[in-house]
Amino acid sequence: MADGVVLLADRWAPEPDEPRPVVLLRSPYGRSGLLGIANGAALARTGLQVVIQSVRGTFGSGGTWEPMRNEAADAAATLTWLREQAFFDGRLLTTGPSYLGYTQWALAAGEAAELVGMVPTVTESDLGLSLLAAGQFGLETSLAWALLLDVQERRPLEVLALTSGLARRWLRRGMDHLPLGEADRALLGHEDSFYQASLAHDRPDDPYWATLDHTASVARVGVPVHFVAGWYDLFLTGELADYERLRAAGHAPSLTIGPWSHTSPALSGAAARATVSLATACLGSHAAAGTSEAGQVTYYVLGRDLWRRSAGWPPEGAEPLSLYLWPGSALSEAPPPPSTPDRYRYDPEAPTPAVGGPSLMGGAGAVDNRRLEARPDVCTYTSTPLSEPLEVAGVVRARIWFTSDAPSADLFVRLCRVERRGRSVNVCDAAVSVPRPPGPDRELPVLVELALSSTACAFMPGERIRVQVSSGAHPRFARNLGTGEPRSTARHGRVANQAVLHDPAHPSSITLPVLDAPPPVTTPP
């Protein structure tokens, strides 16, 4: 590197060892193990040459580990080094999931004339900012990631416990600790610099994030890009925003979206196949046989166990269907009648828990929500059984009229598919911090508008559509203590009396993008 730091890398090359294109992965998680097997060894068997580099301060590489801070400069220096290597023929592809996807965007943000293709997987160009979406703080993600980076080199077997969910009790030491500014010390025994920075700079417009956010350069990436995403991945919304940035700039990125969470084993195979396919299209004879469909979207339909192919995302032809929250826990296409609000108490000492959905922990994805829905701090609204299939594809939106007597409050909205036998399965959701006016106006109704994550889901005959409304999903999002104090220093909470309104003057609703003529069925990617 320019400052004299040495970064270690492994090279995987097929025979004969001759100048070839390089598939580059820059990782904080080491170079061997599953990463090396799934990428280095597997891709080399297809005829590709792979370089896996440990980023600064990890697994033998010099310097200090500062998440995201040095990736653009170090990627540029790595490319300069590659240009001097006899094994490099001057063509570069990048691939990799999560943080490895962020390092791809960091490289693409610079002068990288050799770059011919990218495969960002379950990632986004502003990775750190995803922890602060809609005024929330991604507590579980930030602490789980801090713990992973803390133990992975010293106690590698404990990494399996983290990714399998066995460490949830372990993580609770930090996730349930107050104040949040001490949670890293409670969990790790020392401060974690990135966790502390995220708390200290908890607004997306804070200048701290300016040099770590690569969204502004995404539209300038003119090489083929194949995104691999998951319906239950915590970076889905940001990844689809990157996809749309390329589309808006006139490019034709490809996109695969499966029924996956962030750590689903099937992701590695899907990403490897996308990498080989893109390499074939970009490099010709230097890669194994395959196909590339520039600009095509292949997506999985939840509830139907099938894949569809469309020319873009979301598919064309979706029409909005608004369903209104009614008294008696009903959900209807008709506007609501006169009614009294549904009231509930939110107690931060016993916060509404996170169940399934996007998570770095075990238990992510689609799960049974019935125990969650039985809680008194969760309101549910359910349609009558459907007589015909209803297929949704795109962004689900909600408009909820809400009141609270607390200085600070959150709203969590989730769409579920209720199976014929009563199992309630989460489809997509979102949380938002609700601005509360001061003084006597605090308890006046406020309209809260949420964009739930994108989804593709079929509700089949006999099934029902359900909407959950609550005020938290702890520890996925840090619980709102209700006092309005800074989350890093607040030690005590207050019970909040909340209400959901559904009357003619306050028609709360959810809007589904419904496809009358879905795109054709295709084979799995």
Domain that residue 177 falls in? 138-201
Name 23's Cβ contacts closer than 8 Å, sequence gap at least 6.
39, 43, 48, 49, 50, 51, 92, 93, 94, 95, 275, 279
Are 274 and 382 found together in one domain? no
| Residue tagged 């309101």 (tokens) | 379
Do 129 and 196 have their domain in common?
no
Count other C-beta atoms under 10 Å from residue 210's C-beta: 9
CA distances from 346 to 149, 236, 356, 433 (A): 34, 28, 20, 14
| pLDDT at residue 154 greater than cutoff 80 | no
CA atoms within 13 A on the CB side of 414: 30
Provide the whole-model pTM.
0.95
Query: Are 383 and 235 contained in the same domain?
Result: no
The string of pLDDT tens digits covering residues 418-427 is: 999 999 999 9
- Residue 331's CATH number: 2.60.120.260
Taking the C-alpha atoms of residue 195 and residue 149, their distance in angstroms, rounded to an integer, is 12
d(CA 456, CA 359): 19
Buried b (16+ CB within 10 A) or exposed e, 190-209: eebebbebbbebbebeeeeb
Do the domain assignments include residue 76? yes
Render pLDDT for 265-294 as a digit per residue (tens, 0 to 9). Answer: 899 899 999 999 999 888 874 444 334 467
Express each pLDDT in 376-420 by its tens digit.
999 999 999 999 999 999 999 999 999 999 999 999 999 999 999
Q: Are strands 409-418 and 424-434 parallel, antiparallel or unpaired?
A: antiparallel
Instruction: Identify which of 480, 484, 401, 398 has the alpha carbon closest to the alpha carbon of residue 437.
Output: 484
Both 328 and 362 in one domain: the answer is: yes
d(CA 375, CA 394): 29
Mean model confidence pLDDT for the chain = 93
- How many domains does the chain contain in total? 3
Range with the poorest average pLDDT among 31-35, 104-108, 136-140, 475-479: 31-35
Take residue 364 and report the two structure tokens written for it: 């992510």
Residue 46 in any domain: the answer is yes
Domain boundary among 157, 176, 201: 201
**Same domain (yes/no): 163, 270:** no
d(CA 92, CA 115): 5
